[in-house]
Structures are given as structure tokens and as C-alpha cells.
Structure 1
């Protein structure tokens, strides 16, 4: 069976909201063609915006009638759902059926399909995470095999001399990072997040990367900096030994390079991680609260309040958390008489959630077109709740997979250190006098490879669980620290295991 790694096309993500917008406008008395004319200015739906421009161009420039233009686009488009929507609308108009009923039925089926697609996407992501873990374990097995075969006594037993140093370097410094990058590309195809316009988060890592690189160069090229760093590590070790005498963490001086590497990689991630956490906190609360806000607007509208008064009343309700600050700003703008379109423009500069912005846009379009009838607002609130539930279920089902990268990070660190221990310490293995010093000198370098691999894994799991690589900055810090801690404490675990044998 062929594994489908690619998620639904980005255009398919737009269709439910476009259909909702057209349906709500139809319930306000606007024809779908008039809706397409308004959709030309909705930049949050680039595919629908492009299609709307094409349909309007054929009608107003080529003098085609709207039904013929829609029928032609239905035959030409590569999106089956979009083409089926246009063909169904044209057929309903020609047969004299109820356009509103057709649009509501199509909207309902579209959201049902979207729920099923979300379930399939979760299954793909689960398979992807498991495959990634399996690949890393296979590569670690290759490392163990090559390291053992490279032993002089083992090579003599097999009757040939095998120098696996190059292959070990390739496994740790090339194949493992390459596997992470490939799986991150697969995750990018399989998972899309709800946040937009977050490039500045990635830009915040550039100054930190420069500082991290400067630290690395300073330690290796400037003796004074290196001595100061070694002195600091020695002080830290003395403090740890005094506070926790029962824990043996080995000589920290043997881990100068891994510690510097961890510090530099964490420094790259810390500012973007803080910025992403701030943005996520506001937008996640907005996604959770938006359906309740729309429901309140709908219920207030049913009592006869004006649309603006309904929004004002709904925004004053408590329990919205940090999203309440944005709603208070909207309330103030309504009191000042700011047009709803300008309020939405200001909102776009403060929120990054595509779903929340689309719901606000649909709310404003509904009010501007038909005065925000209670039936239309009730429909908007209902489908906003469905969208929230779909995204919430997706996050909840993927949350357990956050634990897996920490497990495989610890396993990789322990496997590496245990293999190194076996090669360099067991007296039954004959190691040449040339090989042993070389292996010991490479331990710090190989430890850096494990730490860097763990750092990369953070971006993979961030993309899988939250739909954006920006979420990986936090996990990359935690995983690199986990790898370093595992390497430092591995001697205790190895001594415990060897003592039980």
C-alpha cells in the first residue's frame, strides 16, 4: 500500500471557509457571483482570490454570462471539490432549485470531509514519527557494528583489517542529519499549522547564531577565552560534586566541546522560542475563544441588537484570557466609530491565527453585506466550533508523540557511550596502542554529533505536533540539554549495568 505523505493541497484548506463565506452571503441575499466579486479582495484565500478574479474577468471583460464562466472554470480547475461545487451551483440554478439549501448542504459535506482528512493526516504523522525513530535506531546500530568491526582483535578474527573511522564520521555527521532533514521535509508536506506571517521568529535566530558562532571560535582560537571557559567548568564540577557526591558525572573537562556546542545551539534557539511562546499563547487562546465569541454575537443578535452592539456586548464577557485584551481593543474601536474593515486590518497586525482571522473576516463580510442576520451568524458560530474541535482533537492526538524524541535522544546518548566504553575499557578486547588514544580523542567530537542530532530532532517534532518549525526551537533546546545530560550521567548508568553483570 502506498504511503501518502503529502497532506491535502493548500487550496483545499481554503475551500471550507470560501464555501462558508459564499453560503453566508447567499443567506443575506447575495448571489454567488456577487460573492466572487467580493472574494477578489480576500488575500487570506489566495487560491479563491485568483479564481474569483478569473471568473469576474470572463464575465466583465470577455462578456460571458456568470453561469458559463463558472461552468468553464469547473471543467478547467484541478481541484475536484471546487469543480464539483461550481457544477452543482450551475445545475441548481438551471433546475430552479434552492441555492441556499444547496450551499448549506455542500458546506456541511465539505466540513465532514475535512474532519475525515484531519484523521488521515494524524495517521500519516504517526507513521512518520515511528519511521523516523526506526531510521535513527538503524543508524545507531550501524554505528555499533562499524565500531565493533573496527577493533583490531575482531578484524584479526575475521581475517582482514577494517578501518571504519570514515564510516563512523559519515553515520554521525552526515547520514543522521540528512535523515532528520528528509523527515522534516516529509513533515512539512504532511502537516500545516494555523499560524501565518511568523517569519520574524526565524529572523530572531540570526543574531543568536552569530553570537553562538563567535563563542565557538573564541573558545577554539583565543587561549584566554578557552582558559576562562575551562576554569568555569572546573568550578561547576566542584560545586556539583560538593552538592551531589553520590552522582559521578565524569570529568567535565572531557566534555568542554560538547558543553560549548550545547550552549551555542541553545543560544540560537532561545530568543525564537520565547517569541514563539508569546505568539502561541495569544493565538491559541484566540482559537479556543473565538467560537464562544461568535456564539455570543449570534445570541445577542437574536434579541434584536445591532451587529456592532452584539459584538460590543459579546466582547465584554469575561473568561477570554489574553484574547480578552484584543477584544477590549475592538470594543474601544467600535465605540470610537472605527469602520469594521479598519478594525480587521488592525486585528491582522496583532493575531497570527489563520482560522481566527478568517472567522473575523467572515463575520465582518456578513455584517457589511446583509446586516448580520441571526441565522447567518448562528451558522458561522456552528462551523467555527467544528473547526476548533478538529484542530483541538488533532493537537491532543499528537501530544503523546512529544515524549518519543526525548526517549530516542536518551537511547542514542547511552548507546554511544556504552559502545565507546566497551571498545576502550574491556580488557578482553585487544586494542592497538594507536587505536585507543585516537578513539578517546574522538569521544568529544562524536558527542557533539549526538547533541546536534538531538537539536535537529526538536524541529521535526515541533513541525509534527504544532504544524510549524518555529515550535521546534523550544524542543531543540530541551533535547540538546537532554542529550548533554545523558552523556554526562551515562557513566553512572554504565557502572550500574556492568555491576549487575
Structure 2
């Protein structure tokens, strides 16, 4: 009897605490943890989540009832916090597995060509993972290599079993098919080199399709950019000139909140659809902090001197962006020069190999010839000098800083080919063909977008022209009908002076319009920079558009000081 009572009590407690449901959740999250590739004590995490839910129930529920009764019914929605706490582990692990999948698929085309070349010199796919991990070129492949190494060295699996386990516990179908196809041919004794060569071609086709899809999608985003950051401000500007005194706050809110929010959203969208760029471009956090401080100080200083918000904002962007453009421009110029002569260098290495030269001797000889541009010759000279002094090929390449990931990857391939004592002209031609085709694919993808950037450069001129024309029209009306409207408002119409203030174009209103033009132009420049250069740091477009905006806005000042729009053109001399 006591035993039955005890079992009944356990069942009741189990139902109250959702014990069975909790076990199901643990199993589900355990599956997500396996796909995320990161170790996690699921039971410990969920026990902590359960405690947080119980504690929050005693706090949130009474608070929500109180706010519901005495403040607003909408506060009953605060109980949704329980659902967020409950769903957090599932959301977190799903996000980790999706991030792992995305990053690996971005790096696979480059890794497969690497593995294909290494397989031809007798290095297995497992060893290629471990070698690639040492190059520090791609972080996602490095993480997968660490999981493989763990399974072999700590869990006692063979290399083939570790590869199969990695394939089965990964959400990327591309990686899964690559690995399981490789192990299948390995078991059957097939030609692994031929298999990886074929898959390398497939992955390159996939990379090319990704750039084509990105070009098509980003064109839509740029159309939205033109609509939200150029056409919308123009429409708001036109409408605001009807009642300038009553629209200052709305235009100011659009310039300070609306447009930055639109720009951030479009920047996030572009980042999410953009193929990964592995070039080393940008500024470190310390320098970014310094530039941010310079921008704040310069913007504040200009405001204290001239008391113009638009000029303060523009100066706060122009000075740090000019410095960033100079520094980042050097990085990009170096990358362009390295990638320009890289195919020529690989072709020269191939020719040396055909006449029987070792790869190391070929690199040393070419480093002493002045046949390449200054940037490439400098990096080649650094590697050649280290090799000539007896440093190992991989250590020589590792000690040299390459900003171009194509160049870095090529030198690592040559170093490993030399260290493993293999390689033939066909391997070198394969590397050269892949690098050349990949470069052309990236160039084609970005050149199509560059044509759309012309609209962003013209935007400040268009907005200033529109503002000046409307100002001229309304100014003419105000000068001709202003006394009549004033007399009518104070006599027969019985209106007070607020009406006059609402329809009068004041200096404050013109200042807000200028701020709208500056904000729209600068933010548009940042977004288009991200779309074309795959980074926000290459800010030369921001600087150029900022200067165009400054000149155009000063021209708007000249329109403000003239009686009408036509007289502004009379003041211009074309002699």
C-alpha cells in the first residue's frame, strides 16, 4: 500500500515538474549540441534554466498582474519572458549549428583545392585538415580539424572513422557529401586524387553561383537603399516645405533616428547575403577608438565655432574617414598588386618545375629577379631570404604577412609541396587556374555592383537641387503674397501669428534640411562601401560623397542668400 502511494506521489510530482517533457527536451538539445560542434553539459544547463524559470515566475507574474491592472493591459506580455528563457538553449544551439554550417561552406571551395593538391603528393584528407589548421587562414576548417584530432587521439577512432563521424554530425550537406564520398572511395581503393579534383571543380562552380546570387540580391538591396536613403528624404523634404515651421521635429527625427536605422538594417542584410572575404583589411580596435574620439572632438569643435549641426556631423565623419581611407587604401592597394602578379609568379614556378627545378630553388631564384611589382617583389623577397638562410618553407611563409588570402594560400601550397617532396607541373597549373578563375569571379561580382554606386554619388547634388528649387518657389510666393497672407490672418481670417510661423522658411528649418541631406548622403556611402568592398573600412567613397555634400550644401546657402532660384544662376559666370 505504501509502495503504491509512493509511486502515485512520484507520478504526481513528475507531472507537476514536467519530468518526462524535460527529458524529451534534453534529448532534443543534445542532438543540437552534436551538430553545433561545441561541448556542453546539457543537463547542467537545463537545470539552471529551470531554476531561472521558477525564480522569474515569482517575480514576473505578480509584477505583470500589477502593471496590467494599474498601468496598461499590454504589460501582460511580460510573461513571454518565461518562453524566451525556456527556448534559449534550443535557439542558442540551433544558431551555433547554423553558424558552423555557413562558415564551413564559405571556406570549402578553397580548402578542397588545397586538399586536392595535397592528395596528389600523398597527403590524406585527414592530414590536410590538420595541415590547414596550422596555416591559420580559415577558422572554420581549423575548428573541424580540432574535432577530428580529438576523435582520433582521445576517443580512439581511426582517421577514416573520425572523418565519417564528422560527416554524420554536421549540418552542411556539402561537407557531409565531400567527406562520406571520400571515405567511400578510400574503402574501395579508388583514386582519391581524381575524386578531390572533381569535387574541387564542383565547389568552384558553387562559389561562382554564390557570387552571381549575391550580385542579384544586392542589386535589390541597393534599390531599397536608393528608395529609403535618397528618394524618401527628397519626398519628405518636398512635403516639409509646405509647412516648414510645423515639420522641423519630424524631419529632425528622420535624420537622427529613421535614416540611421534604415542604414543599419541594410548593412545587416548585405552582411548576411555576402560571400565571405578572407583578405586582411581593416583597422584594429585601438585605432578605431582613436578615430572615434577624433571624430567626436572635431564634430563638437565645429559645432562650438559655427553652431551648425549639419556641419558638425559632416566634419565628425570626414576627418576620421579620411584617415581610415588612407590606411585601408594602402592595404587594398597592396592586395591588388599581390594578386595582379600572382598568376605570373605561379606560371614562372611551373616553367621552372618543367625544366627540373625544385620548388624551393625556383622561389629563391625568382626572389632575386626584379620581374614583379614592388609589393609582390617585397613579399617574395622576404620568403626567398628566409628560405636561402635555411628556414623551412612553411615557417618562411608563416613569418611573412600576406594581406591577400589568395597569395597566402598559394605560398602555403608551394611550401607544403616542397616539404613533402612531391608536386608536378599539373599541380601548379591547377593552383594557377583556380586562383585566376576565383579572382575573375570576385571581380565580376563586384564590378556589376559598382555601376549602381553612381546614384549614391549623385544623391547629395540631387537633394540640394531639389531643396533649392522648392525654396526658390516658396520664397517667391512668400515675397509676393506674404503681406497679403499676414493681413488676412490678422483681420478677416482671424488667424493668429502661429500660422505665419508654420508657413515661413526659417534658418532653423534650413539647418534641419541640411542635416537630412548630410545624414542621407553619408549613410548611403557607408552602405554602398560595404556592398562593393565587403568592408566598412575602405571609406574613400564616404570622403568623396562627404565633400560633394559639403560643396552642394554650401551652394544651398548661396541659394538662401538670393531672392529666387533664377538669380542664383545669374550670379554664375560661364566666361
TM band (smaller chain): 0.7 to 0.9
**Cross-structure match for 2:507:** 440
Supply the distance in 1 between the matched residues of 2:529 and 2:370 (Cα, whole angstroms). Answer: 34
Question: Is 1:465 matched up with 2:532?
Answer: yes
Deviations 1:176-230 (A, max 9, x none): 1211121111122233564545452664354344344334434554xxxx3xx7x
Any idea what SS the aligned residue of 2:155 has?
Answer: coil
Any idea what SS the aligned residue of 1:77 has?
Answer: coil
Supply the distance in 2 between the matched residues of 1:61 and 1:14 (Cα, whole angstroms). Answer: 27
Contact preservation (8 Å) 1:89, 1:102: yes
Using the size of structure 2 for normalisation, the TM-score is 0.71
**Cross-structure match for 1:307:** 359
**Cross-structure match for 1:86:** 179
Greater Cα radius of gyration, structure 1 or 2: 2
Structure 1 position 497, deviation (Å) = 9.9
Question: Is 1:172 matched up with 2:255?
Answer: yes
| Gap change, CA 1:347 and 1:173, over 3 Å in 2 | same
**Cross-structure match for 1:238:** none
| Gap change, CA 1:483 and 1:202, over 3 Å in 2 | farther
| Gap change, CA 1:98 and 1:59, over 3 Å in 2 | same
Deviations 1:299-351 (A, max 9, x none): 21121111111112334251434322222222222222232222212222xx2
Decide which of 343, 346, 353 is 2:399's aligned counterpart: 346
| Gap change, CA 1:391 and 1:71, over 3 Å in 2 | same
Contact preservation (8 Å) 1:209, 1:267: no
Decide which of 217, 223, 228 is 1:135's aligned counterpart: 228
| Gap change, CA 1:146 and 1:474, over 3 Å in 2 | same
Structure 1 position 52, deviation (Å) = 1.8
**Cross-structure match for 1:327:** 380
Question: Is 1:297 matched up with 2:363?
Answer: no
| Gap change, CA 1:180 and 1:417, over 3 Å in 2 | farther
Matches within 5 A, 1:411-450: 411-427=462-478, 428=481, 432-435=499-502, 439-450=506-517
Q: Which consecutive unaligned segments of at least 5 residues does structure 2 have?
A: 1-98, 487-498, 571-575
Any idea what SS the aligned residue of 2:190 has?
Answer: coil
Decide which of 544, 549, 559 is 1:478's aligned counterpart: 544
Matches within 5 A, 1:4-15: 9-15=102-108
Structure 1 position 443, deviation (Å) = 1.4
Any idea what SS the aligned residue of 1:107 has?
Answer: helix
Supply the distance in 2 between the matched residues of 1:202 and 1:406 (Cα, whole angstroms). Answer: 29
Supply the distance in 1 between the matched residues of 2:182 and 2:127 (Cα, whole angstroms). Answer: 14
Contact preservation (8 Å) 1:291, 1:388: no
Contact preservation (8 Å) 1:410, 1:482: yes
Q: Which has the higher contact order (CA 8 A, sep 6+)?
A: 1
Q: Which consecutive unaligned segments of at least 5 residues does structure 1 have?
A: 1-5, 153-162, 230-254
Which deviates more from structure 2 when the two are superposed, residues 364-373 or residues 48-57?
Answer: 364-373
Supply the distance in 2 between the matched residues of 1:89 and 1:322 (Cα, whole angstroms). Answer: 39
Question: Is 1:214 matched up with 2:280?
Answer: no
Supply the distance in 2 between the matched residues of 1:112 and 1:358 (Cα, whole angstroms). Answer: 19
Contact preservation (8 Å) 2:152, 2:158: yes
Deviations 1:347-400 (A, max 9, x none): 22xx22222222222221222223443332222222122222212222322221
Deviations 1:236-277 (A, max 9, x none): xxxxxxxxxxxxxxxxxxx95544443332112111110011
**Cross-structure match for 1:407:** 458
Supply the distance in 2 between the matched residues of 1:31 and 1:217 (Cα, whole angstroms). Answer: 60
Structure 1 position 15, deviation (Å) = 0.7
Deviations 1:477-496 (A, max 9, x none): 11111112122224569724
| Gap change, CA 1:151 and 1:304, over 3 Å in 2 | closer
Supply the distance in 1 between the matched residues of 2:294 and 2:316 (Cα, whole angstroms). Answer: 8
Contact preservation (8 Å) 1:29, 1:370: no
| Gap change, CA 1:203 and 1:398, over 3 Å in 2 | farther
Supply the distance in 1 between the matched residues of 2:275 and 2:464 (Cα, whole angstroms). Answer: 31
Question: Is 1:24 matched up with 2:24?
Answer: no
**Cross-structure match for 1:456:** 523
**Cross-structure match for 2:565:** 495
Any idea what SS the aligned residue of 1:470 has?
Answer: coil
Supply the distance in 2 between the matched residues of 1:215 and 1:24 (Cα, whole angstroms). Answer: 53
Any idea what SS the aligned residue of 2:356 has?
Answer: coil
Contact preservation (8 Å) 2:104, 2:140: yes
Provide the aligned length of Structure 1 versus Structure 2.
Answer: 450
Contact preservation (8 Å) 1:458, 1:474: no
Supply the distance in 2 between the matched residues of 1:495 and 1:438 (Cα, whole angstroms). Answer: 15
